[in-house]
Amino acid sequence: MLSDPDAKERWRWAEEGRILEEALAQLAQLFGGEPTCEPDWDAGRVRSVLSQLALKLADNYPYFHPLYAGQMLKPPHPVARLAWALALTLNPNNHARDGGRATSQLEQECITRLGRLFGWESVLGHLTGGGTVANLEALWVGRELHPDCPAIAASTDAHYTHARMARLLGVPFILVPVGADGAMNLDALDRILDQTPVGTVVATVGTTGWGAIDPVDGLVARKDRYRYRLHADAAYGGYFNLIRERLSKAARLRLEAVSACDSLAIDPHKHGLQPYGCGAILFQDPTVGSVYQHESPYTYFTSSERHLGEISLECSRPGAAAAALWATLELLPLAPDGLFADHLWKSCCAARTLAGCLQAHPAWVILGEPELDILVFSTRSPRASALSRLNRAIFDRAASDGLHLALLTIPVGKARSTLPDLNPDVGEVTVLRACLMKPEHLEWGVRIFDYLEKARLATPVLE
């Protein structure tokens, strides 16, 4: 059973409703000069439908709770939820200023602030539906700027959608092996680049599986020699640039080097406390906007300035997303010594706390020190096949007790780097993974370990 945070969450949701009601009343007053227009809807039926929906939504994991540590699902901040709902009453469309005058301006302010997080004072960019579309735009721009050298290279642990997008763009895609730390192997990249021209190299700033950061500093150092564009897929890890001074030296140098990339994707709906979907694509050189040029005979414009729809592969986009992000950045500025940064650091400390608990127990092993706030770990078993079954059984048992984790399948050789006595009777092994993205996870780290131990002790030994 879930405990105190449940009651606190219910109270907070109720308080959000009251705050939203006040803001909606203020917005209605601001539009009070319009002629009366009665809405054509039945409030009673709406209540009935929403009541049914609430029952259906109960068929979900408790994403908001610290005992959910499965996928990269971080609850949006209340101010983001409220701002989104408030803006949604007007339903602005940020494809053009005509469809979202206020929210288009808010979006540009958000992009400026995100750019400054990486030291970019002059930046071209916009919000997207998520990291996939943001990355697609960067790869598309790379292809357009390097038509004679369109190949894309990314690590084997990069997000799987990069290969899919290369197929969509009709360009070659090259996988670069990773090292023991899960980051791109630069020697392997050099061997590829010496033989094959590559137009765009993707640096993953926080892999989905391990949270590893590619050696962006090394990739920057090779740019002039091999003449490629460097794109940072910082969808998950980009916000950690705010606290890079608190991280390991390697992580700090790699995050610092993102400022020298040509473009970057970042997902405010991951560590930026936003509702889905809110991604962003940023280009350091604003002149790449010329790649997007188009004419639209059926769209009218009230501004001579380049609007957001002219620098986007997407057309209609929710202005509510810009309103929500802007409100969050107003409440929680991206300052290294601010509350937002403190929450990021607590997530990192939560991963280290759980790692320490696991390392101190002989039945568990971590498969690498956590770089950010993702931890990969396993129990022990003599054979790889049995180890996979055991980890899956612990995963299921923990879920039945209320702790929700994730599973990760890795080459058995990678597991043997920390489990040297493991019999490799199969080529892959399934291990456990925790995304400790909530600051509350720091307080719950020891309790999560207790849940894990309870699940392990309740699971029969498998040979």
Q: Per residue in 317-375, pLDDT tens?
A: 999 999 999 999 999 999 999 999 999 999 999 999 999 999 999 999 999 999 999 99
- Distance CA(325)–CA(231), nearest Å, equals 23
Distance of CA 32 to the CA centre of its chain: 40
Residue 408 has phi, psi (to 5 degrees) of: -135, 130
pTM of the model: 0.92
Give the burial class of 98: count Cβ atoms within 10 A of its Cβ; 0-12 exposed, 13-18 middle, 19 or more buried.
Answer: middle
Q: How far from 49 is each of 42, 45, 46, CA to CA, in Å?
A: 11, 6, 5
Amino acid at 222: R
CB atoms closer than 10 angstroms to residue 247:
19
Give the residue ranges of DSSP H helices in 60-130. Answer: 78-88, 101-116
Tell me: pLDDT of 8 over 80: no
Q: In angstroms, how far is CA 230 from the centroid of its own chain?
A: 19
pLDDT band at 462 (very low <50, low <70, confident <90, very high): low
Closest CA to 71 of 356, 406, 326: 406
| Separation of CA 462 from chain center | 36
User: What is the reported pLDDT for 28?
Assistant: 81
Whether residue 14 has pLDDT greater than 60: yes
Q: Which fold has domain 339-457?
A: Aspartate Aminotransferase, domain 1 (3.90.1150)
* Digit-coded pLDDT (tens) for 48-79: 999 999 999 999 999 999 999 999 999 999 99
Query: What integer pLDDT is reported at residue 16 of this predicted model?
Result: 85
- Cβ atoms 65, 12 nearer than 8 A: no
| Mean pLDDT estimate for the chain | 91
Three-state SS string over 113-150 comes to HHHHCCCCCCCEEEEECCHHHHHHHHHHHHHHHCCCCC
Question: Would you say residue 299 has pLDDT above 50?
Answer: no
At residue 188, does pLDDT exceed 70? Answer: yes
CB atoms within 10 A of CB 330: 13
Where in the chain are the domains? 101-331, 339-457
Q: In the prediction, which pLDDT does 301 show?
A: 39
Give pLDDT, residue 302.
Answer: 42
Q: What's the mean pLDDT in 376-398? A: 96
* Contact of 176 with 184, CB cutoff 8 Å: yes
Residues 83/326, Cβ–Cβ less than 8 Å: yes
pLDDT of residue 405: 98
Cα-Cα-Cα-Cα dihedral sign, residues 115, 120, 125, 131 = negative
Average pLDDT of the residues in 255-274: 97
In which band, very low, low, confident or very high, does the pLDDT at 126 lie, cut at 50, 70 and 90?
very high
Question: Among the listed ranges 1-15, 216-230, 233-247, 358-372, which one has the minimum average pLDDT value?
Answer: 1-15
Domain 101-331: give its CATH architecture: 3-Layer(aba) Sandwich (3.40)
Mean per-residue pLDDT, 261-273: 97
Q: What percent of the chain has pLDDT over 90?
A: 78
State the Cα–Cα distance between residues 260 and 185, nearest whole angstrom.
19
Instruction: Report how far Cα 154 is from the mean position of its chain's Cα atoms.
Output: 18
To the nearest whole percent, how much of the chain has pLDDT over 70? 93
